[in-house]
Amino acid sequence: MATRTLIHGAHVVDGDPATSAGDLADILVEDGRIVAIGQGLDSDAERVDASGAIVVPGFVDTHRHTWQTAMRGICADWTLLDYFRGIRLSASAVYRPEDIYAGNLAGALEALDAGVTCVLDFSHCLISPDHADEAVRGLREAGLRGVFAYGMFPVPVAEPPFDSPEKRFDDARRVRAEHFSPDAGVLRMGVALTELGLVPWDVTVGEVGVARELDVMVTAHTGSVHNPNRPPEVELLDAAGLLDSRQVHVHCNACAEAELDLLAGVGASVSVTPETELQMGMGYPVTARLLERGMTPSLGCDIISNNRGDLFGQMRLGLGCERARVNQVTLDRLEMPDTLRLSASQMLGFATLGGAKALGLDSEIGSLEPGKAADLVILRGAGDAMNFAPPAEPIAQVVLQCGAGDVEAVMVAGKWVKREGKLLGDAAPRARKAVAESRAHIESAVGGWAALLPEPPEGWFDGVIGAMEQNLANAPG
């Protein structure tokens, strides 16, 4: 028997979210897909009264380290280099498989709770095959759509189960065969590269090669650090024939214009993470530089060890930052801006259809259109919430007035995962318990959070850059 749901009387952000007016309409969902959008729809479906609400496509997060959820907030006053030392080189090494599971389950539920229905999970704490299996299990149990990007980064543990790149490549092949063959359901596989230069060049070639062998997309941290000797990652990948359209490059703040030209030329995507980039010293987001090249930016929450897992904050930060950056040129002339170049509608597009395009899923999700999967979010001020009194113009309301607390209901592939302001099922209480136990273990295992950041050796980062140059000496170009 067909499952039908009729969402009635909402302001529906249909079509391209960047140009939608959010007019009043009904949405008919049948067997996981949107069948019709229009006024006065009639059906023998379950009827959901959405009067006074706004319905938007499920948000798409193109860069999140979901495994870090248990360490929520510990990076509040850290720079990017602090993060690399404290998380990537220290805390990650004490993670057990159950910690990966707890972080991914709780983090995926946090995403759904905030209306993020699809995530590119950059999972670079896969110490062993068990860690990889538990990472996938956490995402799947939450019911999240997305891409599990198998991380190639060699976590620095005393006795690594993957004591050679080939063993890690073989495990990626195993994960593909056991968990993602065939490509079915809402969760797919990808590969997350080790940052260029942190491993020898031939290992990078192997990482991209495995992704192509497995027929999955690639994601990578690119242009994250500013240094006169920073390797031009994009140019090196291009010279070796390793750049293509099935890639999401993250940050790119330090990328030269020529590197962004190459990304645009092959049809690759860029994920912008405003909160991390502004706070941790990575520079202004590259939003405008992407738009100048005809690229569509997407948004990511990035490190849940610092940032909240919703895209409302990223939209507002991204919008405010870009407006301030552009306006300052005029202000420096002691004049006032007479126009704003970036709009709220554009930011909503980046957080929805822009993300879907980056993941190659724009024919399936990212906008509310007949034929697409029913991934949608109902926004309505909880209880007597004053931020809906009076309601604003729908797009302005979503981008500038709403927060995660305004997410009343969430649907993924036609299935409700949140109703009346609460996640459904028993996963949430289990996740809260598991992630609290995980946090206690991690803090104890590292000797307390303060112990994660001892005074660094003088010039340690120059040494890292030098090692990167050496590892890339054999790279073409």
CATH number at residue 157: 3.20.20.140
For the chain, percent of residues with pLDDT exceeding 90: 93
Return the residue matching tokens 């999700």.
365
Of 335, 358, 381, the one marking the end of a domain is 358
Tell me the residue range of the domain where 308 lies.
59-358
Same domain, yes or no: 23 and 71: no
Same domain, 170 and 301: yes
169 within a domain of the structure (yes/no): yes
Same domain? 270 vs 404? no
pLDDT digits 0-9 by tens, 47-85: 999 999 999 999 999 999 999 999 999 999 999 999 999
Distances (CA, A) of 168 to 36, 182, 203, 210, 321: 46, 21, 11, 10, 39
388 and 405 together in one domain: yes
Residues 325 and 232 in one domain: yes
**In 3D, which of 234, 168, 243 has the Cα closest to residue 208?**
243
Mean pLDDT of 215-233: 96
H helix runs in 117-256, sequence order: 129-142, 165-179, 201-214, 233-239
The predicted-structure confidence for 269-284, as pLDDT tens digits, reads as follows 999 999 999 999 999 9
Find the DSSP H helices in 332-422.
344-349, 355-358, 394-396
- The 10s digit of each residue's pLDDT in 348-380 is 999 999 999 999 999 999 999 999 999 999 999
Domains contained in the chain, number? 2
Q: Residue 150 contacts by C-beta under 8 Å, 6 or more apart in sequence? A: 123, 126, 132, 172, 175, 189, 190, 191, 192
Band of residue 2 on the pLDDT scale cut at 50, 70, 90: low
Q: What is the reported pLDDT for 383?
A: 66
pLDDT value at 1 more than 60: no
Residue whose C-alpha is closest to residue 27's, from 51, 5, 3 = 5
Question: 55 phi and psi, to 5 degrees?
Answer: -110, 125
- pLDDT tens-digit readout, 161-198: 999 999 999 999 999 999 998 887 899 999 999 999 99
- Burial of 213 from C-beta contacts in 10 A (0-12 / 13-18 / 19+): middle
| 475 domain residue, yes or no | no
Share of the chain above pLDDT 70, in %: 99
Q: Which residue from 384, 272, 344 is spatially nearest to 56, judged by alpha carbons?
A: 344
Q: Which two tokens stand for residue 33?
A: 């897909």
| 447 lies in some domain | no
Residues 29 and 139 in one domain: no
104-121 residue pLDDT tens = 999 999 999 999 999 999
